[in-house]
Amino acid sequence: MNLSDMGYDLTGKTALVTGSSRGIGKAIALGLAQCGASVAVHYVGHSDEAQAVADQIPNSCIVQGDLLDDDAPRKILTQVREQLGEIDILVLNASMQFRQAWDEVTREKFDQQVIANFRSEFEMIQLAAPQMIQNKWGRILTIGSVQQHRPHSAMIPYAATKSAQETMVRALAKEFAPHGVTINNLAPGVILTDRNTEALSNEDYRQKVMDMIPMSRGGEARECVPAALLLCSNAGSYITGIDLIVDGGMRLP
């Protein structure tokens, strides 16, 4: 049985993946494209990276928007609609993260994480979901973190925004379910992307982190893709309001 037979065929669907010029977002964007979706690749400051991803997708576009800007959600969705049409699949992957001791977190850094990781996502859902509801089909996927379950003491605001995100998903799932729209959260663990490169370059810290993971290794971005495809396609049509964790067991006590 091929993926299309199992409900993974996304031909005719349009997806927006925020923060998809690299890392997990890039991997998910390419995975959606392999299933036939048209994909909008979102970036903040590196159009060349976004274009390199879009060049690998037959029907795609790149869209720019800094999630800290008040009008970013509307601006991003408008760009997608002008180039690819209405959005059927919304993957909210972009986020901000700062490593700081709890007593060194400034109001500026706190607010930036709340705005980028939570407020902008809520507003993008407000803008995208009504059309999905009207069409009686839609998929919304937020990308959370294992820190919902094991918060890092040097990333408390980040962990808190991810927990807030998952609460939002559970609340909206009940609102959207009668209309054929699902919303779920995918929570990766330690994924070996650019974001973690510097911290894991310290061998002592790296070993400490790996000791917390039963599989004793970090994950690859591609290992998040099958879970994302399940939750963004008809294969996951009876799944909504869940927190699907891809973490090598790190959340376990």
For residue 196, the model assigns a pLDDT of 82
pLDDT in tens, 224-253: 999 999 999 999 999 999 999 999 999 998
Closest CA to 129 of 180, 67, 186: 180
The predicted model gives 190-210 an average pLDDT of 88
> Is position 158 annotated as part of the catalytic site?
yes
* Predicted confidence (pLDDT) per residue in 79-96, tens digit: 999 999 999 999 999 999
Closest CA to 88 of 138, 124, 24, 145: 138
pLDDT in tens, 215-232: 999 999 999 999 999 999
Strand partners, 187: 245
Res 5 pLDDT > 70:
no
Mean pLDDT of 20-27: 97
Asked whether the predicted pLDDT for residue 199 surpasses 90, the reply is no
pLDDT digits (tens, 9 = 90+) for 47-88: 999 999 999 999 999 999 999 999 999 999 999 999 999 999
Average pLDDT, the chain: 95
Question: What is the arithmetic mean of pLDDT over 164-170?
Answer: 98
Q: Regarding beta strands 60-64 and 38-43, do their DSSP bridges make them parallel or antiparallel, or are they unpaired?
A: parallel
For the stretch 127-143, pLDDT in tens is 999 999 999 999 999 99
Whole-number percent of the chain with pLDDT over 70: 98
Residue 72 burial by CB count (10 A; 0-12/13-18/19+): exposed, middle or buried? Answer: buried
The fold of 14-246 is: Rossmann fold (3.40.50)
Is residue 164's pLDDT more than 80? yes
Is the CB of residue 146 less than 8 Å from the CB of residue 188?
Answer: yes
Residue 4 clears pLDDT 70, i.e. is over it? no
Query: What φ, ψ does residue 52 adopt, rounded to 5°?
Result: -65, -35
DSSP string computed for 71-89? THHHHHHHHHHHHT-S-SE
The domains of the chain are located at 14-246
Exactly one of 8, 43, 158, 205 is catalytic; which is it? 158
pLDDT at position 42 over 70: yes
pTM of this structure: 0.95
Four-CA torsion 193, 15, 227, 219, nearest 10 degrees: -10
- Residue 223 φ then ψ, to 5°: -75, -10
By CB neighbour count within 10 A (0-12 exposed, 13-18 middle, 19+ buried), where does 71 fall?
A: exposed
